[in-house]
Structure 1
Amino acid sequence: MELFAVPDLPEIRAGDDLAALIDERVDLRADDVVVVASTVVSKAEGRTRDLADFPPSPRAREIADRLESIAGEEKDPRFAQAVLEESTELVMEAPFLLTATRFGHIGVNAGIDRSNVPGGDLLLLPERPAESAERIREGLPADRVVVSDTCGRPFRHGQRGVAIGWAGMPAARDWRGEADRDGREMGVTVQNVVDELASAANLVAGEGAGGTPVVVVRDWAFGDHEGSDAHFRDVEGDFVRQALRDWEYEA
């Protein structure tokens, strides 16, 4: 397959038609996958906020004070309030905030970004990324769209691209019931292709000030597999999340 960034996209503002801006700059095919960074989706959807929009509650002040004592540097309780308001659960409260968003994603600080946010202090994640992906898809010749973000993974250093929304394709290939090279039936393998596409696209898009937040994946095929939209683990089957609920940080 081939991956390439969509060139010359302008700084995205609230109300911009992302699909139109993409379509003007690249000749898309119906079977392309368009991977769009959540930052530009959020900007187009007006998800920029100021810290002043989040007057801190006593709970936010308590969280900020604890993190400040751990880190040895000042923590803004207004930011803690923003994280609380964008989360359904604090999975971990120290030494950092690991949260569950309303749409099921687990990440640090509810995915709130403080980099590359012209006109505000904070950039919140899209409220419903799957719906965002569908809206973008409806305006493009390409049939498949993934909204990506970057976040850390357990047991690994650094961040990688992950999918937080998708449209026009299943989230995963289900290999269960198929045979391996030795003829054994596979019983557990479900390949999360939207995460893999998001991660591959992130290698092309890059980080920081690169300004290439949209990547086209060409000549990739889902293949003759059963599809699955299972992506975010249910709490009942997420044993790491359950364990973290009972874990307490000790300095």
Structure 2
Amino acid sequence: MQALPVPDLPEIREGDDIAALVDERIDLRPSDIVAVASTVVSKATGRTADLDDFPADDRARSVAQRLEDATGDEKDPRFAQAVLEESEELLIESPFLLTRTHFGHITVNAGIDRSNVPGHDLLLLPEDPSERAAEIRAGLDVDAPVLVTDTCGRPFRHGQRGVTIGWAGMPASRDWRGEHDRDGRELGVTVQSVVDELAATANLVAGEGAGGTPVVVIRDWDFGEHGGSDELFRDLDGDFVQQALRQWSYED
């Protein structure tokens, strides 16, 4: 398997055709997988914003004040308002904002970015990342799967890693249930989130910060003869951690 950063991409602006920019710089194969950072998808679809676009209501001011009390750092209630509007639900309100986005992804601050946003204060996540992935895929010269990726922290571990928040052209998971291990025992629970593993692979070579490359092509990886599933985000009924968070509150 190879992970090939797509070179020399320009600063992406609203209206730019990501598929065309990729096709101009690399000869894709139908078996390739194109991993595109959510940041450039958001920029191409006009998901930049300014703090003044989010006048704070009473709840946002209360959330910002609680964060200030917990952390000792000044918090802008307009940013809290942006997080609230981009979230389906706040799972944790202090000492940080853990949110569930409208498309089901759980992340800090609704995934709103404040770096590498020329001319604006904020960069919001794509509204429907899987739909954006399908649009990019339809614009490519070959019919290659597309992943929209983001970097996220992890509970219980330091550091961030790449995850997929939208995908098109391949299953999200590789289902091993019903297959057997080397001792002949049937696997009953193993479902492998391959889109997340591919996003993490892409992130290894994409890099971060000023030198980051927002599109990576995964080549010569094979899904194999397995069942597939498009389940990626857990439903509340089966997500015991999310259920526990609903009963938890922060006390300093």
> Would you call these one fold, judging by a TM-score over 0.5?
yes
* Distance in 1 of aligned mates of 2:200 and 2:133: 17
| Cα deviations by residue, 1:13-46 (Å, 9 ceiling, x for unpaired) | 0000000011100010011000000000000000
Say whether the 8 Å CA contact 1:31–1:218 is kept in structure 2: yes
SS at match of 1:209: helix
Residues 134-188 of structure 1, C-alpha deviation per residue, up to 9 Å, x if partnerless?
0000111142000000111111111110000000000000000001000000000
Aligned residues: 251
Match of 1:199 in 2: 200
Partner in structure 1 of residue 42 of structure 2 = 42
| TM-score, length of structure 2 as denominator length | 0.99
* % same residue: 75
* Matched-pair contact (CA < 8 Å) for 1:42–1:126: yes
| Counterparts of 1:158 and 1:94, CA distance in 2 | 20
Provide the secondary structure at the position in 2 that maps to 1:158: strand
Corresponding residue SS for 2:210: coil
Matches of 1:223 and 1:199 in 2, distance apart? 19
Match in the other structure for 2:3:
3
Conserved 8 A contact 1:28-1:142: no
CA distance in 1: counterparts of 2:6 and 2:224, whole angstroms: 25
Report the 3-state secondary structure (helix = DSSP H, G, I; strand = E; otherwise coil) of the residue aligned with 2:84: helix
Match of 1:32 in 2: 32
Task: Structure 2 unaligned segments of length 5 or more: list them.
Answer: none
The structure 1 segments of at least 4 consecutive aligned residues displaced by more than 2 Å after TM superposition are none
Cα distance in 1 between the residues matched to 2:35 and 2:75: 34
Secondary structure of the equivalent of 1:165?
strand
Question: Which letter maps to 1:221?
Answer: D
Amino acid at match of 1:19: A
Match in the other structure for 1:116 = 116
Q: After the TM superposition, which residues 146-225 of structure 1 pair with which residues of structure 2 at under 5 Å, given as runs?
A: 146-225=147-226
Aligned AA for 2:184?
Answer: G
Q: Deviations over 1:102-150 (max 9, x none)?
A: 0000000000000000121000000000000000001111420000001
Match of 1:232 in 2: 233
Determine the structure 1 residue equivalent to 2:62: 62
- Alignment RMSD: 0.6
Runs of 5+ consecutive residues of structure 1 not aligned to the other structure: none
Distance 1:210 1:225 in 2: 37
Q: Which residue of 2 aligns with 1:74?
A: 74
Partner SS state of residue 157, structure 1 = strand
DSSP-derived class of the 2:158 partner: coil
**Cα distance per residue 1:44-76 (max 9 Å; x no partner):** 000000000000000000010111111111100
Equivalent residue letter for 1:160: R
Structure 1 residue 211 displacement after superposition: 3.5
Instruction: Say whether the 8 Å CA contact 1:9–1:211 is kept in structure 2.
Output: no
Q: What is the identity, as a one-letter code, of the residue corresponding to 1:61?
A: R
Letter in 1 for 2:42: S
Tell whether the 8 Å contact from 1:47 to 1:124 is kept in structure 2 after alignment: yes
Match of 1:16 in 2: 16
